[in-house]
């Protein structure tokens, strides 16, 4: 009986030592020069440069791979272009930053054109450097001191772009400008003589798919029109289209320009 108790006590003592070693080993290892940060790898960035990411993280030449990464993570998450970050260490001296980057979805008028993300945050990107080709918001965007859009119209337009990009990514490539028409969204199409599309601000996924399909069909000229100017053939040719109305429950109405067939 006594032998069993002694064994149990030894096991508990060993476990305690292991737990304490695990808890305090990073602290002890931070004092070893061999584990000083010699290299920082940055993954997942496109709009944010790797150099800017390292600077934003606060990692310096005095850092150690066993330092608490929480301050680095918090500093990076505060950057407008960073959604989230994961920090890993590679012994002996490399820190790896895996960054989930914010993606610009439109240009906001603030009044100067500035890239903006789906969450309404103004993004510090260089349009010329990154060759951004994004829809332009028609409305004037009001921005808070924290760099976020605060007007309802901008937020509704961004919601539509996010939903369209999620359901039918190719659809956003058709959009030159986006604005609000009452409670609905008004789109101006690219390369289509400024044809306009009217669609609900919170459309059903199926309506977005139908709109994308309609645009693809209309991209080839050659449809007929009825007496009221509505397209009746398979495809009217986007150059001849005046408006596309997707707000109806069970149909899409395409109106042609006068004199077009």
Cα–chain center distance at 6: 60
Top mean-pLDDT range of 72-86, 192-206, 212-226: 72-86
Q: Give the model's confidence band at 235: pLDDT under 50 very low, under 70 low, under 90 confident, else very high.
A: very low
> What's the pTM value of the predicted model, to 2 decimals?
0.74
* Mean pLDDT value across residues 62-86: 94
Count CB atoms within 10 A of the CB of residue 233. 15
pLDDT tens digits, 195-220: 899 999 999 999 999 999 888 888 76
CATH fold of 33-102? Ubiquitin-like (UB roll) (3.10.20)
| Share of residues in the chain with pLDDT > 70 (%) | 78
* Mean pLDDT value across residues 153-171: 94
The segment(s) of the chain belonging to CATH 3.40.50 are 104-256
Q: 238 pLDDT exceeds 60?
A: yes
Higher pLDDT, residue 69 or 233: 69
Handedness of CA 120, 126, 132, 134 (dihedral sign): positive
The segment(s) of the chain belonging to CATH 3.10.20.310 are 33-102
Is the domain spanning 104-256 CATH 3.40.50? The answer is yes
pLDDT tens digits, 1-30: 565 555 655 545 545 443 444 444 566 666
């Amino acid at each position: 009986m006594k032998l069993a108790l002694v064994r149990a006590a030894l096991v508990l003592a060993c476990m305690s030592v292991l737990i304490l070693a695990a808890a305090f080993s990073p602290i002890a290892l931070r004092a070893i020069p061999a584990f000083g940060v010699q290299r920082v790898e940055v993954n997942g960035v496109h709009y944010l440069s790797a150099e800017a990411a390292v600077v934003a993280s606060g990692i310096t030449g005095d850092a150690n791979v066993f330092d608490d990464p929480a301050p680095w993570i918090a500093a990076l998450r505060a950057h407008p272009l960073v959604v989230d970050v994961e920090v890993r260490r590679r012994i002996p001296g490399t820190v790896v930053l895996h960054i989930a980057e914010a993606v610009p979805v439109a240009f906001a008028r603030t009044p100067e054109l500035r890239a903006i993300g789906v969450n309404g945050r103004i993004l510090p990107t260089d349009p010329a450097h990154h060759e951004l080709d994004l829809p332009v918001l028609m409305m004037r965007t009001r921005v808070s001191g924290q760099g976020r859009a605060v007007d309802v119209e901008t937020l509704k337009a961004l919601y539509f772009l996010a939903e369209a990009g999620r359901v039918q990514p190719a659809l956003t490539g058709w959009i030159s400008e986006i604005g609000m028409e009452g409670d609905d969204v008004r789109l101006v199409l690219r390369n289509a003589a400024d044809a306009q599309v009217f669609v609900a601000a919170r459309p059903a996924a199926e309506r977005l798919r139908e709109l994308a399909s309609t645009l693809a069909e209309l991209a080839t000229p050659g449809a007929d029109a009825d007496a009221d100017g509505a397209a009746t053939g398979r495809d009217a040719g986007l150059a001849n289209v005046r408006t596309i109305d997707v707000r109806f429950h069970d149909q899409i109405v395409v109106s042609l320009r006068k004199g077009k067939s």
